[in-house]
Amino acid sequence: MSRTQMTTGAICLAAVVALAFVPMIVDAYHLALAISLLQFTVLATAWGMFSGPTRYVSLATTAFFGVGAYTVAVLGEQLPWSLVLLIAAVIGAVMAVIVGLSTLRLSGVHFVIFTFGLAELVRQIVVWYEVNKTRVLGRYVFVDITQNDIYWQLLALAVIVFGAGWLIARSRFGFALRIIGEDETVARHCGINVTIAKVALFTITATFMTLVGAVMAPRFTYIEPSIAFNATISFEVVIMALLGGAHRLWGPALGAIPLTLLFDFLSARFPSTSTLIMGVVFLLIVYALPSGVVGLWERLKTWRPTASKMRGAQA
């Protein structure tokens, strides 16, 4: 490991340790905000890990998030917490494998529409099951999990997501994914099993999304399909990842953090028009920053010398 890598590692470690102390020093509102920030950081980073290299735009975030939340609603009161999380992760992974195998051959807009439909499909299946089999629709989540616990679990999840992303990027798997992203046909000719690579990545990232839903569920107390499978989450995650830039591991976080803060600011200051302003913000992001904050940063870096040269030429 080089010295810069060691320094970066040390800084990251120190940051995580410092973040772990946050619940002790902030009030309930700032803790709620911190939970939101971590939630969207993990979701957007997981989304970017898949969509960055493969360039698939997935709107299935809420499908996995909701499955995680529902697993807790069903099993939360019966099993120990760690087992519940494990089961949620397994269900999310299995679902992702099935969905991945059947849909990752689709491309472009077909995939987008399918994933959007997937969330609705899962929701309707849950509704059908609850209506016809269990005959209860709303479920209650009374588990012994405090807000602090939720925060720490999300922080741990964030560390694992970034760790996984870092490891994947440095592995043969990550290299294969980059080739797939550049040109799928070339990747096939190199002997890469494109489908397995894509499904594996989809499964890993979907498992993280499922876990976020499971961890967040105790915050809701009451869960019904419309709460757990809220399509807004899918769109928010996409827009966050796009703002940050999905082609770098840390890009989506750069979008998730300012946008979560912005949404919070808007709903506090403009309670009746916040949704409208958010829509305008989305439009601006897509038009003004097509490759996100990361893209802008990289463009600025490469521009600087040219810009000064141009100034020199004009003078």
Binding site for other proteins (CB under 8 A): 14, 17-18, 21, 24-33, 36, 124, 127-128, 130-132, 135-138, 140, 142, 216, 219-222, 224, 226-227, 230, 232, 264, 267-268, 271-272, 274-275
Sorted by sequence, the CB contacts under 8 Å of residue 278 that are 6+ apart come out as 263, 266
Tokens read off for 122: 């899962």
Residue 128 CB, shortest distance to other proteins, in Å, is 8
Q: How far is the CB of 69 from other proteins (least distance, A)?
A: 10
DSSP 190-250: TT--HHHHHHHHHHHHHHHHHHHHHHHGGGTSEE-HHHHT-HHHHHHHHHHHHHH-TTSTT
Nearer to other proteins, 88 or 212 (CB): 212
> Minimum CB separation from other proteins for residue 38, in Å?
13
Residues in CB range of 245: below 8 A, 6 or more apart: 48, 251, 252, 254, 255, 291, 292, 293, 294, 295
- Asked whether the beta carbons of 155 and 34 are under 8 A apart, the reply is no
- In angstroms, rounded to a whole number, what is the distance separating the alpha carbons of residues 254 and 292? 9
Q: Tokens for 305? A: 């010398």
In Å, the largest CA–CA distance within the chain is 78
Tokens standing for 179? 């080739």
Q: Please report how close the Cβ of residue 267 comes to other proteins at its closest, in angstroms.
A: 6
| Minimum CB–partner distance for residue 220 and other proteins (Å) | 5
Where are any strands of DSSP class E within the chain? 139-140, 222-223
Nearer to other proteins, 14 or 186 (CB): 14
Is residue 144 helix, strand or coil? coil
Nearest Cα neighbor of 279 from 232, 245, 226, 231 is 232
Q: Which lies closer to other proteins via its Cβ, residue 192 or residue 256?
A: 256
Comparison of 204 and 233: residue with beta carbon closer to other proteins:
233
